[in-house]
Structure 1
Amino acid sequence: MNDFTRSDPLSQARILVGMSVTDVDRRDDLRAWADEHAADLAFLQMGDPSLSRELTRLADEGAATITLVGVSLGPLAPGHSWLRRIAAHWWRERSGDRPEIQVAPRLATTRDHLTFHDPRPITGTEPGLTSPAWERVPDHVRQVLICRGPRCTAKGSEETARAVILGAMEAGLGDDDLLITHTGCQFPCNQAPVLSVQPDDVWYGNVEAAAARVIVREHLADGRPVEAYRLPRC
């Protein structure tokens, strides 16, 4: 039972944080979940408001304690540690009064798993946002750019992305082979869902899950572009 209401003093605030691109696509669902827990909504990536922006807003309005719970409903979501990293980075960079930041101990993957209980405080000693391992462009043979713009999302690019990720795993393709990236609109929207493969300069359209698996198997694993789904270049 939720005993925390929005009529409580602002000194106690809550934020539900969408971790993945899929969570941005499911904004309406997450908003309903947040409302059930008297929480605000923010996103770790590719969504507005960002977690940093929402933390700043609540702190500026006088929140003394802010509790975060991450939600992960889709593939390629950062791990739970990244929620703590981002929150700690904001806390260290914050000028003026800093609220206490608490983070739920695990990500919620379903509505029933969503809880703000037993949060753990941010101490400021969490790892930062840089690492020697992230200094250089990663070695990879190809980069797969999966469009997650509004039209592609409406036509199923979430399942396209899932099929690419699972297909790459099944084909034994690792980080040295592929860099899989979600993007905003790539055009041409009439051919949604769209994905492109670089540096091959190959664009594919109408890439539903079954087509994505063929593209992974024939193009990404064997190096042979799939003409059946290939889009002409002007």
Structure 2
Amino acid sequence: MASTEKTAAVLLARSSVTGAASREMEELAASLQATGEVGHVTHAFSEQGTPSLREVLTALAGEGFEEVRILPCLLPMEPGFRVWIDRSINRWRAEEPLQHGPSVRVAQPPGSLGAMQALLRDMLASEPCEPAPTPASALPSAGSLIPSQKRRVLVCQGGPCNNAGAAVIWGHLRNEQKRLNLRTTGDGVMTAKSTCLGPCNLAPVLQVFPEGTYYGGVDEAGIDRIIEEHLLGGRVLRELAYDPLPVKQALR
């Protein structure tokens, strides 16, 4: 086991679409850091939001930490989320072949710990707040603009796709959409999660419109290539694309 100074902890949350969520994770990390029980504490997001788990693991490896403990901050702990954590770690190890990289271990989920009962009691005993009043009308009186983006990317969220890492590619796609200003670049791109898109054995699956192109077996690197070739270049990435055929197709 690594010494305290050589051990880092990563608070792993699902996603962040606002600055407030990121600040809350930063405050939680600082609170744990103040205990002195671990050398360094940071946070990461599994879906939308930065930094990603892969980015954090790479940074901690570069800083020379010998052990990284991932603390999943999720209730309830969905089986698919734990599968995602394991696969993300294994994928990172394969992509970052470090001779002396840190060991990466995953803590037990919060719901399985005895301290959760005490935490729930504290919540029950805390001063409750009244619900905020609902505005008379939540719709803007001036109306809404119709989106001008011509491209749509649907990321399947069916069971097989989630188990195969759909959350990873969704988060990476959303982060790249923001970084590259894809909403306003070229034809413009909008992204959305989808229920099952059909070809489950090609998981994870996404579909690009207006062509309706199916892509299967996509990872973060595949997302980068689809953005460059298809969304920005207007050319279907044949290597990952699957055409509708009257016969069943297997993942290539």
TM-score bin, normalised by smaller chain: 0.3 to 0.5
Q: What's the TM-score once normalised by structure 2's chain length?
A: 0.45
TM-score normalised by structure 1 residue count: 0.48
